[in-house]
Structure 1
C-alpha cells in the first residue's frame, strides 16, 4: 500500500477530529486572516489574525453554546451568511457539537430560504445580519422547528414584539453561553467529537439547481475527512501556503477548501466581498486561490479593455502578447507531457521574455506576485483563456466535481496540468465512462443521497456506489478527464447533429472580450442562434471611444455600431466551427444575466431553462420565417 493510500485509508471519522489534532500540533501558528473595515468607511481595511489556538477557543465556545441550546447530534444548524471568518468558526462549531450544517446562500430569497430551513428541519439559524434575520421572521409561521436565530453582526437588529423569548441572540451571546457551559462541563465538546461516526451527517447542502426545487445533498463526516486528506495527498497545498478565500462558503467547493486547510495547517485569508478582490490580492499576496471561470474571464476582459484604452499601439502589443502566451503555453504543456520539461523553442522563448516584461509581469503583480496556482471549478473555463493565463505565468488548475461528490473529484496535477481538461481523479476516487459517454464516479466523497427523496437518489446512485453525474466526458489514455457537456444540455438540431452548447459558448468567450454571458440555442431547430449579454464596464468603455458616450447600457446594446462590433466576433467564432455548429443569428440582451433574476445560480452557472423562457420572444424572432424541419 502506498503512503498516499495509507494516509487516506487511515483517516479519522471527521474534520472535527482533524481540527482538534491541528490545534494540538500548531496552537500558536496563524490560521486565519480577516479584514476589519476602517471605522470611517474610508481608507484601507486593517487585517487581523487568529492562531489555531485562538480559533479553537471560539469554535469550542460556539459548539458548547449550541449544546446548551439543546442541539443534538445530526440535528441541523443552518448558516446564512456571506464568506467571512465567522462562517468558518460557526461551521466548525456545528461540527464539533456533532450537529450538521445546512448551508443557505445569503442571496436566497425569503421563500426559498424558508423552504430549505423547513425541509432540513433546522433547529438553529446562524444569520449574518438584520437582513437575513428578517427573512426568518417573515416566514416564522412556516418554521416550527426553528428554535433560535443567532445573528453574527447585530448592527440594526431590533427586538420584535412577536419574537418568542430567547428566539434571537447574537453570536457573542452564544459564545458567552458556551464559555459558561464549558466551565461546568469542560469535556462536553471533546465528548461530542469523540462520539462522531464517519457515517454521521455533517453537511446538508441544497443544490442551487438549474431546474426545479433545490435538493438537499446529504454529506457525512467521512466525505470531509476524505477530502481533507485527499487534497493534501495531491501535493497541491502545503503548510507554507497562504490561501485567499472569497468563494461562497455555502457552495460545496468552499467547504473542500476549509477542510484541506485544516489538514495542511496553512494560513487562509477570508473575505467574501467580491468587489474587494482586486484590492485585496496585493495585500494578502496569496500563494493559491480558487475561483470560478467568470472571475478569470472578467480579469482577462479587464486587462484587454485597459490596453485598448491606452491607444492603438498598446492594444496591438497586448494582442500580440496574448497570442504569444497561448502559443507558449500550448508548446510548453505539450513538451511537458512528452519529456517532463515545460520547454519551448528558442525563438518563442525570446518572444515570451519580451512579452513578459511588457504585459505578463504586471498581471502577476495584480494577483499579489506570489501566486503559485489558481484552482478553477464549478463550470468550464474557455481553453483559450486558460492558455493565456498559463503563458502569463498564472497557472489555472481546472478541477471537477459536483455537490453530490463533495466538489473535488478531479483536479489537474501541479506542473503536469493540461488546460482544457479537469485533470485526474483524487486518490481514492474511481471513474468510468458509461456507453453513452456519461461520467460515473465512486468513492468516499459521494453523497449518502438526497434528503427525504429516495426516488431521486435511486435515479443517480446505484446500489454498488456508482454515481451518475449527468455530465458527458472522455478519459485520455493516461487518465486526464475532459468534460464535453452536461448530458441534458446536449442539443440535437432538426438535421440530427448533436452540439455541445457549452463548447461553442466557451470559444466565443475566448474570441470576444466584451461578452459576459452567452446562451447557444438550437434544439430541434435547423440552425443555431445565440443570446448574448455584454460586460457593462467593458462595453461602456468602448462606447465612450465610439461616439456613444453618455448612453445607457441598454441604449449602447441596441445601437447599430454595437451590433456590428459583435457581429464581427460571431463571424470569427464561426470560422473555427463545424458548419452545423455555427451561429446564424444572435440577439444582444438589454441587460446582463444575474442571480437576482434567477438566470444564474449563486456559483454563476447559467440556468438555461430560465433564460430561454424569459427571452422566448427573442429566440422565436430569430427563427421567424425560417423553414424548420
Structure 2
C-alpha cells in the first residue's frame, strides 16, 4: 500500500498544491484536542497523561578538572593552554509530574515577586530573554513564562556584548534568565540595558555579579523555594494566554545578514506539534527510546523536537556538546555512553565532522583496514539481509559503540547535507532522516519517514502545512519539468505572522492569499517526497551568463575528506567558482604523507604552499566529478585559510551555518586575486 501512496499528494481542486498523505483533507492544528491549545498547556497535559513516568534526565557537574597542554597555533607557534573537563553525576531522572509541579512553583514565585501583574492583559505583559545553554532549566523557565503569558525571546550563548544587547533592546526585554556560564556576559552589558531590571540566574549563587541599584536579581534555586512557600491557584494568574498570543520571538541565525526576529504565536507552535506528533509519534516507543538533547534551544530544531517527544512520552537525556564523548570528560563516562540514546539530532556541520573523524581513524589504521572498511560500506548498501546484518554487527560495532550502541535514528536539519555523508553515516551508524524546518514554520515543514527514505530528500510534509512550487522561469525551475520544480511556497497554521519591526520585509515575504515565499527551490520526487535543490539568494551568475547554486555545489564539495569547512564564491567576473576552505588537519596530513608530500605543516603554512593547495584542489575536483557536478560548477582555485571558522570569529553563525557576508569580506583580497 505504501509504495502506491505518494508521500505528498496533490489537492484535487488545485494539483499544484500538495499536502501530507496523512492529512490530505484538512491541515492539523491540535496535537491533543482541546487539552493542548497553547505552549503552557504542554507540561500539565503530559503530567495528566504520563504521571510518574520519566520525562527526562540530566547530569550535574560535580567537579571541574583543569589540564595544561602545549599546542601549536595556526602559525605553528607553541603555546600553553588550559583545558577544562567536567566530571558529571549519574543521570538524575525527572518525572512528568515533577515537571508540571516545578513549573507551578516557578509561576507562583514570579507572581509573588511582582514581576507578573495578573491584572495586565497578556499582550501587555513584559517580555523575557532566555540566554542559557540547553538544559532542563531552560525548558522549565520557558514553560513558566508561557503559562504566565510572557513572550520569550531567544539569544544564542555565543553572542558577544553587542549581540546580546541588541537581543534585549530590539524586543524591549525586561527580564533575562541566564545560565551559569552566561552570568559574566550579562554583568558586562547590564549597565547599558536600562530596561532590563530583572535577572534570574542559574548555577552557583552569584548575586554580586548581576546585582545593581536598578536591578532585581534572583537565584533560580531561591526562586523555586519561594514558589513552594507561596503557592498560587490557577485563577490567581489572571487571564490565560490564547492561541493568537505570541509565545516566542525567535531570532534566525543570520547566515545572509543581521538576524531577524520571527514572531511565533501559540497557534503556530501547537499546530507544528500537531503535525510532528502525527508524522513521527507512532515511530517511537516511550519504553525503549530516548532523545539526546544537546542542540541549542535557541534554535527552532531543538525546541521543536523536545516538545514533540515530551508530547508523545519519549524521554529526553539532557547533554552538552562538550561532554558527549568519553575523552571529553574526566572521572566519568560521556553522555553517549551513559544515556545510550536511540535518537540524536544535529546540523550538517556536526555530521560532516563525525564522518571525517571516522575516515581519519580508518586512514590511520592502515591500507588493509581502509580497504576492508570501504568494502563493508558498499556491501551493507548492496547485499541482502542477513549478510548486511552480519557486516553491521561485526564491522561497524565500534562506530556504533561510540554513540552508546543503541542509536537507530539520526535527524539532520538546519541546512543541506551532502548525499555522500548521509549515505555513509546511514550505513555505518544509523539511518539519517533529513528534515526541512524553517524558523518561520516552527521547525515543521517536512521530514523523512523510514518508508519513504531517499538520499537528499527532506521527505513528507508536516500534516499542518501545505506546499506549492511556484514557477521561476528565468532560472528554468518550472512545474512542467520532468520532475516539477519551483520556489517553495508554504501555507498553514504553523507559518509565522511576521518579522519583528520589519513590516516591509513581512509584506514582501507573503502573497495576498497567505503563501510564505521561502526563497528555497524545491523538487517533487517520483515517490512524492520533497527535495531542496537550490536557494534563490544563493544563485550566482557567472561571466558566461550561466547560473550556479552555491548551496548545491557546496553540499557536494563538503564530502572532500581533506576539507573541514568551505564556502564557494563566484565573483561576477569569474568564469567558474572558487573555494575558500579550512582544511581537516588530520585527514590532510594522512593524504599528504600517502602522496609523498611533507605532512608536518600548519594551516598558516598550507595557506601559501602551492603544492598543498594544488593537492587540495585535485581532491575537491575528484569529489565534484563523483558527485555529478557540471563543467561550470568545477572550481578553478582554492583559498586556504589560516584560522578555523567559528561563531567566535564571525565566520560561522551561532547555528553553525556559513556567515557568507563575513567570509566574503574577510577574504575579499584573496578572492579578487584568485
Give yes or no for TM over 0.5. Answer: yes
- Offset at residue 376 of structure 1 (A): 0.7
Give, in whole Å, the separation in 2 of the partners of 1:154 and 1:100.
27
Q: Which stretch has the larger CA shift, 390-399 or 232-241?
A: 232-241
1:619 aligned onto 2:666: no
1:206 aligned onto 2:251: yes
The answer to whether the Cα contact below 8 Å between 2:39 and 2:247 also exists between their aligned partners in 1 is no
Give the secondary-structure state (helix, strand or coil) at the position aligned to 1:397: strand
- Offset at residue 321 of structure 1 (A): 2.8
Partner residue of 1:375 out of 395, 411, 423: 411
Q: Rate the CA distance shift 1:462–1:44 in 2: closer, same or farther, 3 A.
A: same
Give, in whole Å, the separation in 2 of the partners of 1:570 and 1:40.
42
Counterpart for residue 189 of structure 2: 139
Counterpart for residue 286 of structure 2: 239
Counterpart for residue 233 of structure 2: 186
Counterpart for residue 533 of structure 2: 484
Deviations 1:320-343 (A, max 9, x none): 333445x53xxxxxxxxxxxxxxx
Q: Rate the CA distance shift 1:9–1:58 in 2: closer, same or farther, 3 A.
A: closer
Deviations 1:582-628 (A, max 9, x none): 11111211122111111111111111121111101111121xxxxxx
Counterpart for residue 112 of structure 1: 163
The answer to whether the Cα contact below 8 Å between 1:227 and 1:260 also exists between their aligned partners in 2 is no
1:409 aligned onto 2:445: yes
Counterpart for residue 5 of structure 2: none
The answer to whether the Cα contact below 8 Å between 2:29 and 2:272 also exists between their aligned partners in 1 is no
- Offset at residue 557 of structure 1 (A): 5.1
The answer to whether the Cα contact below 8 Å between 2:129 and 2:177 also exists between their aligned partners in 1 is yes
Q: Which of the two has greater helix per residue?
A: 1
| 1:73-84 correspondence runs (5 A) | 73-74=122-123, 75-84=126-135
The answer to whether the Cα contact below 8 Å between 1:83 and 1:248 also exists between their aligned partners in 2 is yes
Deviations 1:517-554 (A, max 9, x none): 11112242212211111124544566788775665442
Q: Rate the CA distance shift 1:133–1:361 in 2: closer, same or farther, 3 A.
A: closer
Deviations 1:497-520 (A, max 9, x none): 11112222221222x212111111
Give the secondary-structure state (helix, strand or coil) at the position aligned to 2:91: strand
Partner residue of 2:616 out of 559, 563, 566: 566
1:419 aligned onto 2:419: no
Give, in whole Å, the separation in 2 of the partners of 1:54 and 1:431.
40
Give, in whole Å, the separation in 2 of the partners of 1:248 and 1:302.
22
Counterpart for residue 228 of structure 1: 273
TM-score, normalised by the number of residues in structure 2: 0.83
Q: Rate the CA distance shift 1:156–1:8 in 2: closer, same or farther, 3 A.
A: closer
Partner residue of 2:353 out of 295, 298, 303: 298
The answer to whether the Cα contact below 8 Å between 1:397 and 1:412 also exists between their aligned partners in 2 is yes
Counterpart for residue 396 of structure 2: 360
Q: Rate the CA distance shift 1:44–1:18 in 2: closer, same or farther, 3 A.
A: closer
Partner residue of 1:158 out of 182, 199, 208: 208
1:528 aligned onto 2:577: yes
1:94 aligned onto 2:135: no
Aligned length: 596
- Offset at residue 390 of structure 1 (A): 2.4
Counterpart for residue 14 of structure 2: none
- Offset at residue 478 of structure 1 (A): 4.1
Give, in whole Å, the separation in 1 of the partners of 2:339 and 2:128.
31
Give, in whole Å, the separation in 1 of the partners of 2:634 and 2:363.
28
Counterpart for residue 56 of structure 2: 32
The answer to whether the Cα contact below 8 Å between 2:412 and 2:435 also exists between their aligned partners in 1 is yes
Give the secondary-structure state (helix, strand or coil) at the position aligned to 1:439: strand
Counterpart for residue 330 of structure 2: none
Give, in whole Å, the separation in 1 of the partners of 2:129 and 2:29.
34
Partner residue of 2:44 out of 8, 14, 20: 20
The answer to whether the Cα contact below 8 Å between 2:524 and 2:530 also exists between their aligned partners in 1 is yes
- Offset at residue 464 of structure 1 (A): 2.5
Counterpart for residue 108 of structure 2: 64
The answer to whether the Cα contact below 8 Å between 2:465 and 2:492 also exists between their aligned partners in 1 is yes
The answer to whether the Cα contact below 8 Å between 2:60 and 2:88 also exists between their aligned partners in 1 is no
Give, in whole Å, the separation in 2 of the partners of 1:386 and 1:50.
34
Q: Rate the CA distance shift 1:6–1:459 in 2: closer, same or farther, 3 A.
A: closer
The answer to whether the Cα contact below 8 Å between 1:33 and 1:268 also exists between their aligned partners in 2 is yes
Partner residue of 1:599 out of 651, 654, 657: 651
Give the secondary-structure state (helix, strand or coil) at the position aligned to 1:566: helix
Deviations 1:279-311 (A, max 9, x none): 321221112121111121111111111111111
Counterpart for residue 262 of structure 1: 310
- Offset at residue 379 of structure 1 (A): 0.7
Deviations 1:255-278 (A, max 9, x none): 101211221122100113345256
The answer to whether the Cα contact below 8 Å between 2:452 and 2:529 also exists between their aligned partners in 1 is no
Deviations 1:59-94 (A, max 9, x none): 222222223332353431110011111111111111
Deviations 1:456-480 (A, max 9, x none): 2111123422111111111235431
Give, in whole Å, the separation in 1 of the partners of 2:89 and 2:269.
32
The answer to whether the Cα contact below 8 Å between 1:558 and 1:590 also exists between their aligned partners in 2 is no
Alignment gaps of 5+ in structure 1 = 329-343, 623-629
Counterpart for residue 337 of structure 1: none
Partner residue of 1:589 out of 638, 641, 651: 641
| Root mean square deviation of aligned Cα | 2.6
The answer to whether the Cα contact below 8 Å between 1:517 and 1:533 also exists between their aligned partners in 2 is yes
Give, in whole Å, the separation in 2 of the partners of 1:583 and 1:369.
40
- Offset at residue 374 of structure 1 (A): 1.2
Deviations 1:12-64 (A, max 9, x none): 32132132111122221111111123336475542211111222222222222
Q: Which stretch has the larger CA shift, 564-573 or 94-103?
A: 564-573
Q: Rate the CA distance shift 1:228–1:616 in 2: closer, same or farther, 3 A.
A: same
Give, in whole Å, the separation in 2 of the partners of 1:309 and 1:586.
26
